[in-house]
């Protein structure tokens, strides 16, 4: 089994990925829901970080440091840094405060100084707000954002023809890596008898709101 399918199985087992009827932020009725915040114990977070590390290594992207946007990116970036270090890639990491600290060390960045090619670690991309803020912080420090890594790419159009992931790639000229995407989810549903009843609903949702196959 490849790591993408393994990740989907893991997310389902942890009840992070659920099936049913859910209303998205865009007001769409979705047959599945993914909440990375439910990777909320040490073992689950550690395994999640290993999947991120595998995706980063497989991409071959050149990275000098890691950055996690507050708040969900904070535990993620620390865990991913540990997972990468265990593979022999010991990278500095940092994250931001929502409000700049005016005493002590001050500023809004915690951890290693932002320098060189910085990879942003986040859970998902919805409106792209945290990525926009992260890019601004990285550039303001004189470093260069070199990409984003997320857990799941829903491959879903926003208000226009592009997805949130595509908008980030187009607007900032950086790649977005995903541990898994909607196609991987559909593959999981086809291969697992206990979940095949959800395949038609997810496929219809993709047809209605998904990206064109040649995007």
Give the active site residues: 101, 103
H/E segment holding residue 19: strand 17-23
The C-alpha atoms of residue 14 and residue 177 are separated, in whole angstroms, by 22
Token pair 């071959």 in the structure block, residue? 60
The pair of structure tokens assigned to 125 is: 């991309």
**Cα-based torsion angle of the residue sequence 92, 98, 100, 102 in order, rounded to the nearest 10 degrees:** -110
Does residue 18 have a known ligand-binding role?
no
Does residue 4 have a known ligand-binding role?
no
Does residue 204 have a known ligand-binding role?
no
Does residue 21 have a known ligand-binding role?
no
Does residue 103 have a known ligand-binding role?
yes
Residues whose CB falls within 8 Å of the CB of residue 57, separated by 6 or more in sequence, listed in order: 84, 87, 89
- The total number of residues shown for the chain amounts to 215
Does residue 2 have a known ligand-binding role?
no
Does residue 10 have a known ligand-binding role?
no
Binding residues: 25, 33-34, 71-72, 97-98, 101, 103, 122-130, 154
Binding residues for orotate: 33-34, 126, 154
Binding residues for 5-phospho-alpha-D-ribose 1-diphosphate: 25, 71-72, 97-98, 101, 103, 122-130
């Amino acid at each position: 089994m490849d790591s993408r399918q393994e990740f989907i199985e893991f997310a389902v087992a942890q009840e992070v990925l659920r099936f049913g009827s859910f209303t998205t932020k865009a007001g769409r009725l979705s047959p599945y829901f993914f909440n990375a915040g439910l990777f909320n114990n040490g073992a689950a977070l550690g395994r999640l970080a290993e999947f991120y590390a595998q995706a980063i290594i497989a991409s071959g992207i050149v990275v000098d440091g890691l950055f996690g946007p507050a708040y969900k990116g904070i535990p993620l970036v620390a865990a991913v840094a540990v997972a990468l270090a265990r593979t022999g890639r010991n990278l500095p990491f940092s994250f931001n405060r929502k409000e700049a600290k005016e005493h002590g060390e001050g500023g809004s960045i915690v951890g290693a100084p932002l320098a060189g090619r910085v990879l942003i670690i986040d859970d998902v991309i919805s409106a792209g707000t945290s990525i926009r803020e992260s890019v601004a912080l990285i550039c303001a420090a004189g470093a260069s954002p070199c990409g984003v890594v997320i857990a799941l790419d829903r491959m879903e159009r926003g208000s226009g023809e592009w997805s949130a992931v595509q908008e980030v790639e187009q607007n900032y000229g950086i790649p977005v890596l995903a541990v898994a995407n909607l196609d991987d989810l559909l593959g999981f549903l086809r291969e697992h008898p206990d979940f095949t009843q959800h395949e038609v609903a997810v496929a219809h949702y993709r047809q209605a709101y998904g990206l064109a196959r040649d995007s």
